[in-house]
Amino acid sequence: MNKLALVIRDLHRAEGELADELLRVSDRHKADHDIFHLARDLADWSRAHQRALTRVGRPRGVRIFMETALPHKVSSAVRQRTSELLGRRHTPALLLLRDLRTVYAKAVVVSLDWEILAQSAQATEDAELLELATRCHDETLRQMQWSNAKLKESAAQAIVTP
Amino acid sequence: MIAEDRIAEPWGERTPYGRGDAWPDRVDTHLADGVTPDAVERWVPTASLLHSNGDAMDIAVADGRMVGVRGRASDRVNRGRLGPKDLYGWQANAAPDRLTAPLIRRDGELVETDWETAMSVVAERTRTLLDERGPGSIGFYTTGQLFLEEYYTLATLARGGIGTNHLDGNTRLCTATAAEALKESFGCDGQPGSFADIDHADVIALFGHNMAATQTVSWSRVLDRLAGPNPPAVVCVDPRTTPVARAATVHLAPRIGTNLALMNGLLHEIIENDWVDHEYVAAHTVGFEQLSKLVVDYPPERVAEICDVPVEDIRHAARLLGTADRVLSTVLQGFYQSHQATAAAMQVNNIHLLRGLLGRRGCGVLQMNGQPTAQNTRECGANGDLPGFRNWANDEHVRELAEIWNVDPGHIPHYSAPTHLMQILRYVEDGSIRFLYVTGTNPLVSLPELERVRRILSQDRLFLVVQDIFLSETARLADVVLPAATWGEKSGTFTNADRTVHLSEQAVEPPGLARSDLAILLDYAARLDLRDKDGGPLITWHTPEEAFEAWKRCSAGRPCDYTGITYDALRGGGIQWPCTPDRPEGTERLYADGSFWATPEMCEGYGRDLVTGAPWSKDEYTAFNPAGKGMIRGADYAPPHETTSADYPYQLTTGRTLYHFHTRTKTGRVPQLRAAAPEVWVELAEADARSHGWSEGDLLRVTTPRGRVRARLRVTGIRPGTVFLPFHYGYWDEPGGYRPDGEDGRAANELTLTDWDPVSKQPLFKAGVAAVERIEAGDSR
């Protein structure tokens, strides 16, 4: 397999992990309504990136078998219910900080992978790939910015106020 | 005393005028039955407190009682006119069930007590929590109906004294998106246009704004233009066939939740046809190229499909907006409380930036307010920003504020944006906020998903203080209820939706032991013994006028500069800020020279991501807009979070009637207004009603995943597939008192979902889906 194919596959996997993480975080914090909704919206971005990678991979000799990872409906429902039951407690706020940190860390991996891909696209004068990398990377940065901002916004109340 | 029935004719008789002419006077008066004009002893100046238009009026006083009202002909806002709520609403002050003594909860029941007992309990609980759990355990939730002096006092005691970040207003529900859209486009809050632009416009475009119901007097002004020579064209965006829609040249009724797609389509046409003022764009804006690239994907054909609007109507509306010499745009809840609220509202600003239609007669944007004093909630720092439109992320702004208050900058919370209401509620839910002080608002009727709100606010561990003039639904859950004086019973200033400041003077004594909100807040601050950094009292004022003078110092040099205004000057009529000693006449329109308060040093916020709501850093803002120009920013349409299904086939939207205000606490106690709209109803389109075989007056049940409401059917011109409920109706005049008596509720917010715009944090009342069924046929069959 050529090296570009490796990069595309890595990136595809990293986007998938980020999307899964965002969905888990969404479910786990259903009582925090903006986390619930936005994490889902942002997971959609990563899913779209995956589809785009599959599309550009094909003519470049990269075959990606999309794991048709249907959302785990049962575990998702359990997580959501648990969040609602724990909604009256303040301790899960600490869990939220940890979850946001994980999202951020996973998004950083994705971001770096897009940079690698963008550099390769420039070097090979692959305009289509470069356009995709630029567009998607911008959204990855916004996913990072969101998790970072939510973390900043939530930290004081979570840590300082009992 | 008024010749006609202003319930049946809310906009009164026409006084037609032509473009550029002065709007003729028309003085509206209403005196109580049996009171003749010569029996009136005094006329006391004020302005209306039951909507955001700020109509200047005088209260008639005889024998120490209010006996009527009269519009003030000399005032720039209304030229003597008054709306139905102004003409009749004052009677609520004398309602027999006004709160006249403080109440305290003893053995589960609210019982009367004295001020000393009530206030010492409130202050003591605050102190204990501060000592044990810190300022993050204290929250304040205020309103859009107090006076400027009261908001500034509240912001000072909460942010500068207690040091909590948890202070917000119910303006979050009505006007947060207006403020945010203005900040994102122009760098700072502040209404660009003026109501006088109605006199000059060639096109008046109302985006999600049923002005006929929300600002009846300004709608009279539009009707007078329409009845005169060279009338303006009217563009209306609204899913309902409102009076505005009926008067419109083009009426667009988009599918709920698709406003942004529609706006992108209109901008696509404006750019595609090159109706752009390139000179203005180059000199005064940033971001044009990105927007042009974005809206390429929104040709009218695609937008027509997303929004379910005829393609020729989109083109027609775009041509009117794109080619008229003078365009006035107004925006309200149809955009602010709907999906992608801030992004959609900003696209209206973009039309004006692209065409250079700002700061001139007839060319303006009015990002409207819902409530009468919402502008003051915003500018005084009681609604998500620091006082004087200061930027919480700008250390220099925080330092300035600390200097004004003489406190340490570190004592003013600015580690993140001030906590917005829905997050405050979440902190109450998780138990980290244990004390919530609510002034002049009624979350138990006005917030989304009421069953959730009731569960949160009825927790034992929460100490709830409610300061109000009636025993509202929320007050019934309180630990302490503080009886307040209201409009006409206290003095102070407030500012309407076009920056006009009015003085409202005390006409009569408040009932019983009720005290002004200012007096109560000053008492609270004194009991907390809040000090500045040198040990002096933090709050140095005692009267409304002293509070106003203190506010002037805080506003100095900021966009909302009040330093040229005095109580005496206001006795001559309303004045529009900014008003400085050099410009004592005030400022009619902002941004006349294409310069904005948007430099990184001046701006109120560094901007937010329009999809995620994440705040930008100073560096990001400076890179995008180093010279402080107008900001043209767009976003892609995304489908709403909740979509129709077989179980919930209708889209739900909520709104108002022109006869009621907010949760009806005042207007529901006024005979004429109560009779005009006595009971909640539900609207469906004729096609939908017919398909079910239902007719007007049938009793329906509306169900969503959150709750159930029953209401009588009105068949209207609303777009098919949509169900509408007015949000005013609660439970204070029903057996339940503060909640439904039985399975079905009466409050529209039993049904609404907990979701908010990520940028403005305004709850989305006009989103979500519903099922509708018939419980029983009406009398009409």
Interface pTM, i.e. ipTM: 0.94
Cβ-in-10-Å burial (0-12, 13-18, 19+) of A157 comes to buried
Distance of CA B542 to the CA centre of its chain: 28
With contacts defined as CB-CB under 8 Å, which chain B residues touch A33?
A: 422, 426, 754-756
User: With 60 as the cut, is the pLDDT of residue B1 above it?
Assistant: no
Minimal C-alpha gap between B423 and chain A (Å): 8
Q: Are strands B167-169 and B138-142 parallel, antiparallel or unpaired?
A: parallel
With contacts defined as CB-CB under 8 Å, which chain B residues touch A146?
A: 609, 612-614
Structure tokens belonging to residue B237: 């965006």
3-state secondary structure of A2: coil
Rounded to an integer, the average pLDDT of B62-74 is 97
With contacts defined as CB-CB under 8 Å, which chain B residues touch A142?
A: 609, 611-612, 614
CB-based contact B609 A145, cutoff 8 Å: yes
Q: For tokens 């030229």, what's the residue? A: B79
Per-residue pLDDT band at A20 (split at 50, 70, 90): very high
At B557, the amino acid letter reads: G
- Confidence at residue B780, expressed as pLDDT on a 0 to 100 scale: 59
Rounded (5°) CA angle B171-B177-B183: 110
Residues 6+ apart with CB under 8 A from B151: B142, B169, B373, B376, B377, B380, B381, B382
Counting one residue from chain A and one from chain B, the pairs whose CB atoms sit within 8 A come to 79
- The edge-to-edge listing of strands for the beta sheet with B364-367 is B250-252, B233-237, B203-207, B327-331, B364-367
Minimal C-alpha gap between B609 and chain A (Å): 8
- Confidence at residue A79, expressed as pLDDT on a 0 to 100 scale: 83
Residues 6+ apart with CB under 8 A from B636: B260, B264, B294, B297, B611
Q: B539, B538, B528, B531: which is closest to B122 by C-alpha?
A: B528
Which chain B residue shows the shortest CA-CA distance from A87? B430
Per-residue pLDDT band at B416 (split at 50, 70, 90): very high
CB-based contact B613 A92, cutoff 8 Å: no
CB-based contact A88 B416, cutoff 8 Å: no
- Confidence at residue A92, expressed as pLDDT on a 0 to 100 scale: 84
Q: What is the pLDDT of residues A41-63, one digit of tens each?
A: 999 999 999 999 999 999 988 88
Q: What is the pLDDT of residues B596-622, one digit of tens each?
A: 999 999 999 999 999 999 999 999 999
Return the bridge partners of B69, or none. Answer: B30, B59
CB-based contact A88 B431, cutoff 8 Å: yes
CB-based contact B756 A153, cutoff 8 Å: no
Rounded to an integer, the average pLDDT of B198-202 is 98
Q: B490, B483, B383, B475: which is closest to B151 by C-alpha?
A: B383
- Confidence at residue B582, expressed as pLDDT on a 0 to 100 scale: 97
- Confidence at residue B271, expressed as pLDDT on a 0 to 100 scale: 98
Q: Are strands B29-31 and B463-468 parallel, antiparallel or unpaired?
A: unpaired
Return the bridge partners of A31, or none. Answer: none
Give the rounded percent of residues in chain B with a pLDDT score beyond 90: 98
Q: What is the pLDDT of residues B561-585, one digit of tens each?
A: 999 999 999 999 999 999 999 999 9
Backbone angles phi and psi of B763, in degrees to 5? -60, 150
Cβ-in-10-Å burial (0-12, 13-18, 19+) of A68 comes to exposed
Rounded to an integer, the average pLDDT of B29-52 is 96
Q: B517, B492, B488: which is closest to B503 by C-alpha?
A: B492
User: With 70 as the cut, is the pLDDT of residue B50 above it?
Assistant: yes
Q: Is the dihedral angle over the CA atoms B590, B594, B600, B605 positive or is it negative?
A: positive
User: With 80 as the cut, is the pLDDT of residue B2 above it?
Assistant: no
Per-residue pLDDT band at B776 (split at 50, 70, 90): very high
By Cβ distance, the residue of A38, A156, A160 closest to B758 is A38
Which chain B residue shows the shortest CA-CA distance from A91? B430
- The edge-to-edge listing of strands for the beta sheet with B480-483 is B109-112, B103-106, B480-483, B463-468, B435-439, B138-142, B167-169
CB-based contact B430 A160, cutoff 8 Å: no
Which 12-71 residues of chain A touch chain B by CB within 8 A? 31-34, 37-38, 40-42
Minimal C-alpha gap between B417 and chain A (Å): 8
With contacts defined as CB-CB under 8 Å, which chain A residues touch B638?
A: 41
Which 69-98 residues of chain A touch chain B by CB within 8 A? 87-90, 92-93
CB-based contact B614 A161, cutoff 8 Å: no
User: With 60 as the cut, is the pLDDT of residue B222 above it?
Assistant: yes
CB-based contact B430 A150, cutoff 8 Å: no
Which chain A residue shows the shortest CA-CA distance from B425? A32
Q: What is the pLDDT of residues B261-295, one digit of tens each?
A: 999 999 999 999 999 999 999 999 999 999 999 99
By Cβ distance, the residue of B136, B422, B431 closest to A160 is B136
CB-based contact B429 A87, cutoff 8 Å: yes
CB-based contact B137 A37, cutoff 8 Å: no
CB-based contact A146 B609, cutoff 8 Å: yes
Per-residue pLDDT band at A95 (split at 50, 70, 90): very high
CB-based contact A41 B609, cutoff 8 Å: no
By Cβ distance, the residue of A87, A148, A161 closest to B137 is A161
Rounded to an integer, the average pLDDT of B336-362 is 98
Q: For tokens 């951020």, what's the residue? A: A104
By Cβ distance, the residue of A33, A89, A148 closest to B755 is A33
Per-residue pLDDT band at A84 (split at 50, 70, 90): confident
Q: What is the pLDDT of residues B293-342, one digit of tens each?
A: 999 999 999 999 999 999 999 999 999 999 999 999 999 999 999 999 99
B243 preceded by a cis bond (ω within 30 of 0): no
By Cβ distance, the residue of A33, A37, A157 closest to B427 is A157
With contacts defined as CB-CB under 8 Å, which chain A residues touch B607?
A: none
Higher pLDDT, residue A87 or A98? A98
Q: What is the pLDDT of residues B107-145, one digit of tens each?
A: 999 999 999 999 999 999 999 999 999 999 999 999 999
> Is B229 in the A-facing interface, judged by CB distances under 8 Å?
no
Which 312-331 residues of chain B touch chain A by CB within 8 A? none
CB-based contact A34 B758, cutoff 8 Å: yes
Q: What is the pLDDT of residues B232-262, one digit of tens each?
A: 999 999 999 999 999 999 999 999 999 999 9
- Would you say B490 and B510 are in contact if contact means Cβ atoms under 8 Å apart? yes
Per-residue pLDDT band at B22 (split at 50, 70, 90): very high
Report the alpha-carbon distance of residue B103 to residue B443 in Å, rounded. Answer: 19
- Confidence at residue A72, expressed as pLDDT on a 0 to 100 scale: 64
By Cβ distance, the residue of B133, B417, B614 closest to A146 is B614
Q: Is the dihedral angle over the CA atoms B754, B758, B761, B766 positive or is it negative?
A: negative
3-state secondary structure of B241: coil
R_g over Cα of chain B: 25
Mean pLDDT of chain B: 97
Rounded to an integer, the average pLDDT of A11-29 is 97
Rounded to an integer, the average pLDDT of B424-453 is 98
At B88, the amino acid letter reads: Y
Give the rounded percent of residues in chain B with a pLDDT score beyond 70: 99
Helices (H) and strands (E) in chain A, counts: 5, 0
CB-based contact A88 B429, cutoff 8 Å: yes
